[in-house]
Amino acid sequence: MSAALLRMPLFALGVLVAPAFVVSWIYGARARLDVAEMDPVEQEVAIAAASDEGYCSANLKKVLRRVLQSCGLLSSGDVRGCQPLEVRNVATLHGDDFNALFLPLQDRAGILQFDSADAELDADDRQLLSDVFTDQRGASYFFVVARSSPEGTEAFNRQLSEKRGKAVLEHLRATFPDPDLDKEVGLLWLGEEYAQLQEDFCAWNRSSEECSVTDLNRSAFVAWIDCRL
């Protein structure tokens, strides 16, 4: 009699636990099915969310992957750079939407502002660039997005923004002798044609006190980005 009484609680516990395992298995299977039905970008975000920074949205990761591949960085490790039409094509985003992807990076990015028709880094530019670059926080890619304001011809401004981007890269090479540097820097030059910055970016960390829209776009945006691609 006593043995039977001892077995009764165990039997009751089994009756309660078994359905719980079934329910748990069903929910787990449903979650796996939901992930499997996502498109590749959404699936990657769902799986790798714990490894990414909070700003790594599905759209940002998609654009980063396309830009890095098209600029040659992921495939060869060489810094080739992308011009305005290339960036527009690979990003498949309106300029304002492209800029909006980087808004969550405000606290860790910098805007290096140049003089009109100039591509030389002054002391304030160099200091801000060093501050941003040394604050890597384990990130994998350092983006340099150079622009120009609309004065002058379109062709001239393309060349000017390219010179500004390359001036940043050359300063990094000279200041930080890292053999992996060229595998980390993603270089874009946008001229005046694409993704012009608006006055909202005056609140960002900048190398100059001047902040009209024209001043903002005589610039190179720099930031480390850590997204699992």
Sort 130 into a burial class: Cβ within 10 Å, 0-12 / 13-18 / 19+.
middle
Q: C-alpha 66: how far from its chain's center?
A: 12
d(CA 227, CA 131): 21
Class of 54-225 in CATH: alpha beta
Residue 153 corresponds to which tokens in the numbers above?
Answer: 């011809």
Plot region of 143 (φ>0 → left; ψ -120 to 50 → alpha; else → beta): beta
Q: Which amino acid is residue 128, in one-letter code?
A: L
- Per DSSP bridges, beta strands 141-146 and 219-225 are antiparallel
Q: 40-48 vs 2-37: helix axis angle to the nearest 10?
A: 140
Extents of the domains making up the chain: 2-37, 54-225
Helix, coil or strand: residue 189: strand
pTM: 0.74
CA angle 10, 29, 23 (to 5 degrees): 30
- Residue 194's nearest CA partner among 67, 20, 76, 74 is 67
Check if the beta carbon of residue 120 is closer than 8 Å to that of residue 114.
yes
Q: How far, rounded to the nearest angstrom, does the alpha carbon of residue 112 sit from its chain's CA centroid?
A: 18
Could you give the CA distance from residue 156 to residue 135 in angstroms, rounded to a whole number?
A: 33
Q: Minimal CA–CA distance to 143: which of 217, 63, 58, 26?
A: 63
Rounded average pLDDT per 10-residue block, the chain, 229 residues = 49 45 40 41 37 78 79 59 79 88 92 97 98 94 94 94 94 92 87 95 97 97 89
User: Following DSSP, what letter does each residue of 107-146 receive, concatenated?
Assistant: GGEEEEE--TT-----HHHHHHHHHHHH--TT-SEEEEEE
